[in-house]
């Protein structure tokens, strides 16, 4: 089905056919398997997808059916999306680390007809809930290991399905024409995908995005950052997250660049290094973890290496961003920076797999300003964007040359953003979703009469820069009893700036003071414990150790000192804190699958600790359920210490004389 020269290419199967014609032998996707990169060109991907699609049609998949995609980033799972879309079916990616019960809700709610999964683990989950899935007809798997002796009545490998398709294409001269006709029938206004939200405040909602939503947003993103077919991208984000769908699928199909799938989640950094990524996205947690590991390793380095590292990092903090922004810099500073590039910055970027990076983004949560500036000072063009599933990602982004650590940029191409009277951010764009699947009431609550989407986030436009600033979720912004503004996420992000603090949950709305529950970072604090002769046998023991409390108290004190200089937030300093005896975990429902804190659930589950923070107790008992990786549940019992902190008097900024 040749693409007409001036025809608008408005679906992904049509884009695939276009790319197979125009980019033909250029690499489209790679996968590292057993240490070797396997590569498929655009014309090879078309052949694979067409065979898969025809095979799916022979299994009974038809227009309007829903097909689940479950697993890590693998070529055939991406092909499954396009193969289903070619038939008019709708892919529904599901988080691969979801426990069976979470998976059951989405599979049942979306009325899944066929599930395409990665391996035995996902097959086992579906098998354990099969009695709840009356509409499920077939389960297709990519990896056969461990599945040979299973009942294959409703179980097939993707290889078998593609073989069915190839056989039909070889035998029936009309099969390819019929497939092309099915692709041609698709329209930009058709439903392209359903992406379920992470469910921060309740059950996940199915966000319906049309081809127009996703393709126009992807094209505008490409235009904004000048992305071309020459980019190199590594796909490692969850398939069920809108970020991966746009960055690893939609933008690849629209721009024509190659996407590489890593061998395993643990090899992402090494694989990224081999590929030489030019365009990347990572949530703040990834950048924070990389920096934490760097600092931990430097503590174990020789004195000479530590001094050299600290000298050049200090120099980069002063001059690195100016050099990146091509601002005037003294020759001596530029020469020292060049030496630092050879000795420190270059090796660091190589270790991170970011040596060739041209554009890097972070979003999802606020990133600590110092962490953000650290990467930019190395010469990495790290920027921030603000997006949502309901927007097909893009709402705002930072243009090159206008990068600020505390903003999320200006409205993206064709996006209109305004601030409601109550401070909530509203937007309108080509990416505005078609609605929540089977939930007209929630859709009506989210969309205004004039077509704007209520984001649920509070923010404002900075008058100095014209960039959007996000404060917190609208519903979470409150006040202390004395009227002081209380923005929990703002406090939490300040606390998480320290590598030793992995997670934070702040309380204070309607209270006299602000308090916090903290999680330590086991890697960072474990390394610190080794250097300071702190003996421990478990996370629980380490979290309760008095010396750990002393160290964390110093971090909280520093946060309080910074808040004391901010006027409006000076009264929201942390008065008391505790360290939780277990890490907050998505399997226990305490975090979403995108690692966002479920603050309300934590307040309920750890209610005894929340009460103790405010009743003057110096310790409290807690008993909670923990979920192990195999799904078994256990109980954790602990007594948790509570530490008081001094509040710092507000220090008005000193104004310079005119």
Which has the closest alpha carbon to 457: 435, 472, 442? 472
Ordered by start, the domain boundaries in the chain are: 12-281, 477-644
419 forms beta bridges with 425
pLDDT the model gives residue 593: 72
Q: Where are the alpha helices (DSSP H) in 24-151?
A: 42-58, 75-86, 100-109, 120-128
Under 8 Å between Cβ of 49 and 82:
yes
Tell me if 12-281 shares its fold with 477-644: no
pLDDT over threshold 90, residue 439: yes
Distance from chain centroid for Cα 2: 37
Average confidence (pLDDT) over 225-245: 95
CA-based R_g, the chain, Å: 26
Write out pLDDT tens, residues 549-606.
999 999 999 999 988 876 667 888 999 999 999 988 887 888 877 677 888 888 888 9
Virtual torsion, Cα 511, 512, 514, 518, nearest 10 deg: -70
Write out pLDDT tens, residues 169-222.
999 989 999 999 999 999 999 999 999 987 655 688 999 999 999 999 999 999
Under 8 Å between Cβ of 184 and 169:
no
Which has the closest alpha carbon to 53: 3, 22, 26, 16? 16
Under 8 Å between Cβ of 357 and 368:
no
Split at pLDDT 50, 70, 90, the class of 656 is very low
Phi, psi of 592 (to 5 degrees): -80, 175
Half-sphere exposure of 489 (CA within 13 A, CB side): 18
Write out pLDDT tens, residues 52-71.
999 999 999 999 999 999 99
CATH code: domain 477-644 is: 3.30.300.30
Q: How does 614-646 read in b/e, with b if 16+ C-beta sit within 10 Å?
A: beebeebebebeeeeeeeeeeeeebebbbbebe
Half-sphere exposure of 103 (CA within 13 A, CB side): 26
12-281: in CATH 2.60.120.260: no
Under 8 Å between Cβ of 46 and 71:
no
Among left, alpha and beta (phi > 0; psi -120 to 50; other), residue 288 is alpha
The token duo for 8 is 């608008």
pTM: 0.81
Among left, alpha and beta (phi > 0; psi -120 to 50; other), residue 338 is alpha
pLDDT over threshold 60, residue 630: no
pLDDT the model gives residue 94: 96
What is the C-alpha separation between 647 and 645, in angstroms, rounded? Answer: 6
Write out pLDDT tens, residues 118-130.
999 999 999 999 9
Burial of residue 325, with CB atoms counted within 10 A of its CB: 0-12 exposed, 13-18 middle, 19 or more buried? middle
């Amino acid at each position: 089905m040749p693409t007409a020269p001036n025809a608008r290419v408005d679906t992904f199967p049509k884009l695939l056919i276009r790319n197979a014609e125009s980019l033909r032998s250029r690499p489209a996707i790679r996968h590292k398997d057993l240490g070797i990169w396997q590569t498929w060109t655009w014309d090879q991907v078309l052949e694979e997808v067409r065979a898969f699609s025809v095979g799916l049609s022979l299994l009974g998949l038809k227009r309007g059916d829903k097909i689940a995609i479950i697993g890590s980033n693998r070529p055939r799972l991406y092909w499954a999306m396009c193969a289903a879309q070619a038939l008019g079916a709708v892919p529904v990616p599901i988080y691969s680390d979801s426990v069976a019960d979470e998976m059951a809700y989405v599979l049942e709610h979306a009325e899944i007809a066929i599930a395409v999964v990665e391996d035995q683990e996902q097959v086992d989950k579906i098998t354990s809930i099969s009695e709840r899935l009356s509409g499920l007809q077939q389960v297709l798997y990519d990896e056969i290991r461990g599945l040979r002796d299973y009942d294959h009545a409703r179980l097939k490998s993707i290889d078998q399905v593609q073989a069915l398709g190839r056989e039909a294409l070889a035998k029936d001269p009309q099969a390819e024409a019929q497939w092309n006709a099915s692709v041609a029938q698709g329209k930009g206004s058709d439903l392209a995908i359903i992406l379920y939200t992470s469910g921060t405040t309740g059950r996940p909602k199915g966000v319906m995005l049309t081809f127009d939503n996703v393709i126009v947003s992807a094209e505008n993103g490409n235009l904004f950052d000048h992305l071309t077919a020459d980019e190199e991208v590594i796909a490692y984000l969850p398939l069920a997250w809108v970020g991966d769908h746009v960055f690893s699928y939609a933008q690849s199909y629209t721009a024509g660049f190659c996407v590489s799938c890593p061998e395993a989640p643990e090899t992402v950094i090494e694989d990224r290094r081999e590929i030489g990524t030019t365009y990347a996205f990572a949530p703040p947690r990834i950048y924070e973890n990389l920096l934490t590991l760097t600092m931990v390793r430097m503590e174990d380095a020789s004195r000479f290496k530590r001094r050299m590292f600290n000298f050049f990092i200090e120099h980069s903090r002063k001059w690195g961003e100016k050099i990146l922004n091509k601002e005037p810099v003294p020759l001596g500073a530029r020469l020292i920076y060049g030496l630092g590039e050879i000795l420190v910055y270059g090796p660091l970027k190589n270790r991170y797999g970011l040596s060739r990076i041209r554009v890097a983004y972070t979003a999802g949560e606020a990133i600590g300003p110092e962490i953000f500036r650290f990467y930019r000072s190395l010469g990495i063009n790290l920027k921030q964007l603000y997006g949502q599933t309901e927007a097909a990602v893009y709402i705002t982004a930072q243009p090159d040359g206008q990068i600020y650590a505390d903003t999320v940029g200006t409205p993206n191409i064709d996006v209109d953003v305004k601030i409601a009277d109550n401070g909530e951010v509203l937007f309108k764009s080509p990416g505005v979703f078609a609605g929540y699947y089977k939930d007209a009431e929630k859709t009506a609550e989210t969309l205004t009469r004039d077509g704007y989407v209520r984001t649920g986030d509070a923010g404002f436009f900075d008058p100095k820069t014209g960039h959007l600033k996000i404060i917190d979720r609208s519903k979470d912004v409150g006040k202390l009893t004395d009227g002081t503004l209380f923005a929990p996420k703002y406090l939490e992000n300040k606390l998480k700036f320290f590598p030793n603090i992995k997670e934070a949950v702040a309380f204070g709305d309607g209270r006299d003071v602000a308090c916090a529950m903290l999680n330590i970072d086991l890697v960072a604090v474990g390394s610190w414990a080794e250097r300071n002769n702190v003996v421990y046998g478990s996370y629980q023991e380490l979290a309760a150790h008095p010396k750990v409390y002393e160290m964390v108290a110093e971090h909280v004190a520093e946060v309080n000192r910074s808040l004391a200089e901010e006027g409006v937030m000076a009264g929201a300093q942390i008065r008391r804190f505790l360290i939780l005896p277990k890490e907050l975990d998505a399997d226990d429902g305490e975090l979403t699958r995108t690692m966002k804190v479920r603050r309300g659930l934590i307040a309920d589950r750890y209610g005894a600790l929340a009460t103790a923070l405010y009743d003057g107790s110096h310790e409290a008992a807690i008993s909670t359920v923990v979920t192990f990786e195999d799904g078994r549940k256990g109980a954790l019992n602990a007594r948790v210490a509570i530490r008081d902190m001094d509040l710092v008097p507000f220090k008005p900024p000193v104004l310079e004389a005119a």
